[in-house]
Amino acid sequence: MTNTILVVDDQSSVRQLLQDYLTEQGFRVVTAVDGQEAIYSTRHDPPDLILLDIMMPKMDGYQFLRLYRKERQTPIIIITAREEETDAVLGLDLGADDYVVKPFRMRELLARIQAALRRSEKTQVSFELLRAGEIVLDERNHAVTVRSAAVAVTPIEFDLLATLMRSPGRVFSRGDLVDLLADSGFAGLASTLNVHIRNLRLKIETDPANPDYIKTVFGIGYQFHKPE
């Protein structure tokens, strides 16, 4: 089945470049010039992945993320200019999965797209129900509940939490998590892992500054603590 990618960028040259390249790679490509048009598009033609510019008229990438993440958890990769790279981290806080910096290499972008789609597809065919304390992770329905309340997580946050919960007590180095979650082609996770861990803690921990579940093992990485 052909995956659909939505390209959201106000620059026609960028939209055309990405559309031509990704079509050649076998994807179906839909485009939008701003967040407002993108919201309309996603509601009538849901994509499998979104490439999202930040600085756009009418509705920028941040506004789009805030609205869209209330509706769907489709993988989103931000496309940003180098001078806006810090702003891209805010996009991760709002629910994006990764970002690439212009000018980017097409093969690198393709690797990140493929890795994000693999993660998304994997969560749809795994059927474990993981429990730890007040957290329940349902892989069949791609759902997380904390203290009986549904929590919205992005695909990469879901995979990250599932990986940690499957091996409580194991100390994962940063390299372990990057390799397990992102494949060798998804280099972006190495620079954004801390942000995803922080966002997860904000969503599942009673006190994110003093986490009960996702523990930092200083100098090494992270460990999931399962309460007795």
pLDDT at position 186: 43
Exposed, middle or buried by CB within 10 Å (0-12, 13-18, 19+), for 218? exposed
**What is the sign, positive or negative, of the torsion defined by CA atoms of 10, 12, 17, 21?**
positive
pLDDT digits (tens, 9 = 90+) for 137-190: 988 778 899 998 999 988 888 888 988 998 899 999 988 888 776 643 445 566
pLDDT at position 7: 97
In the predicted model, residues of the chain with pLDDT beneath 50 are: 126, 183-186
pLDDT at position 83: 62
Q: Give Cβ neighbours of residue 152 (< 8 Å, ≥ 6 apart).
A: 69, 70, 73, 95, 203
pTM (2 d.p.): 0.62
Domains, the chain, ordered by start: 4-122 (3.40.50.2300), 126-224 (1.10.10.10)
